[in-house]
């Protein structure tokens, strides 16, 4: 079955710097890769996603890249702000609908 | 609009007691349904997922079971809770074809 690994587990960045979180997956049949942001009291919200037929997707300060050959995908946050502090989860879903998550990355943006 | 309801929000149960957590979805048909558990400071562990009524896939051996008696209803159960069952349980769904997954607000289960 699918196994998703996520690194790093914690990430501390200065406000204005970039943050990068990397995930690898094991099932080559996975075709959808979402990223979720989890904040206390706000639940888990989708921030960006990418499908296997796309190599890169960008939405304002957030971008995701996918390397299908290497089976890894990354989240990039530029010009980080204090409100970017949260736990971020990557996930991979196969064609059967099974959605597996990484272990999460605690991002702390310091002023 | 599509919504997901999960209850209860918090639950304290004694060891050996039964469990039933319910999740219902509105506004979509034949969703994929998921149960996850999130231990403190850790990621989301997939427990069960379902692509249709009566179709349940179990991802990890455990003391829990899941059922989908109706298209938009997903139930997480246990006959006898263990201390190790404590955690934060999240229900989620995604529409058809495979799209974004939406999460319920979660249930904080404490087994004492």
Cα–Cα distance for residue pair A38/B99, rounded to 1 Å: 19
Q: What is the pLDDT of residue B75?
A: 96
Yes or no, beta carbons of B43 and A44 under 8 Å apart: no
Nearest chain A residue to B95 by CA: give it.
A97
Q: What is the pLDDT of residue A54?
A: 85
Q: Does B98 touch chain A (CB under 8 A)?
A: yes
Residue A28 DSSP class: T
Yes or no, beta carbons of A104 and B106 under 8 Å apart: no
Cβ-Cβ contacts under 8 Å between A and B: the total is: 55
**Region of residue B33 (phi > 0: left; psi between -120 and 50: alpha; otherwise: beta):** beta
Yes or no, beta carbons of B100 and A34 under 8 Å apart: yes
**pLDDT < 70: residue spans in chain A:** none
pLDDT in tens, A23-50: 999 998 898 999 999 987 777 889 999 9
Give residue B100's pLDDT band: very low, low, confident or very high (50, 70, 90).
Answer: confident
What's the average model confidence in pLDDT over B76-95? 93
Please provide residue B84's backbone torsions phi and psi, each rounded to the nearest 5 degrees: -70, -10
Q: What is the pLDDT of residue B97?
A: 58
The yes-or-no verdict on residue B107 having pLDDT over 80 is yes
Closest partner residue to A43 among B36, B59, B105, by Cβ?
Answer: B105
Give residue B61's pLDDT band: very low, low, confident or very high (50, 70, 90).
Answer: confident
Closest partner residue to B98 among A36, A97, A101, by Cβ?
Answer: A97
Q: Count of residues for chain A?
A: 111
Nearest CA among B40, B42, B43, B36 for reference residue B62: B36
Yes or no, beta carbons of A103 and B42 under 8 Å apart: yes
Residue given tokens 């994929």 in the structure block: B32
Mean per-residue pLDDT over chain B, rounded: 90
Give me the percent of chain A exceeding a pLDDT of 70: 98
The answer to whether A81 and A15 are in contact (CB under 8 A) is yes
Contacts of A97 in chain B (CB under 8 A): 32, 49, 51, 94, 98
């Amino acid at each position: 079955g699918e196994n998703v690994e996520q690194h790093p587990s914690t990430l501390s960045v200065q406000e204005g710097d970039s943050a990068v979180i990397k995930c690898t997956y094991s099932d080559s049949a996975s075709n959808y890769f979402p990223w979720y942001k989890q904040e206390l009291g706000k639940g888990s919200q989708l921030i960006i996603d990418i499908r296997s037929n796309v190599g890169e997707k960008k939405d304002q300060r957030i971008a995701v890249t996918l390397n299908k050959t290497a089976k890894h995908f990354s989240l990039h946050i530029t010009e980080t702000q204090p409100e970017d502090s949260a736990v971020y989860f990557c996930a991979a879903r196969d064609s059967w609908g099974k959605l597996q998550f990484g272990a999460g990355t605690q991002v702390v943006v310091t002023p | 609009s599509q919504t997901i309801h999960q209850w209860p929000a918090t639950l304290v149960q004694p060891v050996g007691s039964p469990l039933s957590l319910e999740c219902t979805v509105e506004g979509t048909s034949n969703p994929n349904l998921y149960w996850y558990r999130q231990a403190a400071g850790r990621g989301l562990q997939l427990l069960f997922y379902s692509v249709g009524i009566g179709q349940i896939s179990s991802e990890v051996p455990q003391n829990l079971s899941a059922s989908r008696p109706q298209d938009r209803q997903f139930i997480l159960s246990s006959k006898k809770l263990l201390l190790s069952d404590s955690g934060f349980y999240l229900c989620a769904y995604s529409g058809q074809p495979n799209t974004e997954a939406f999460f319920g607000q979660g249930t904080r289960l404490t087994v004492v």
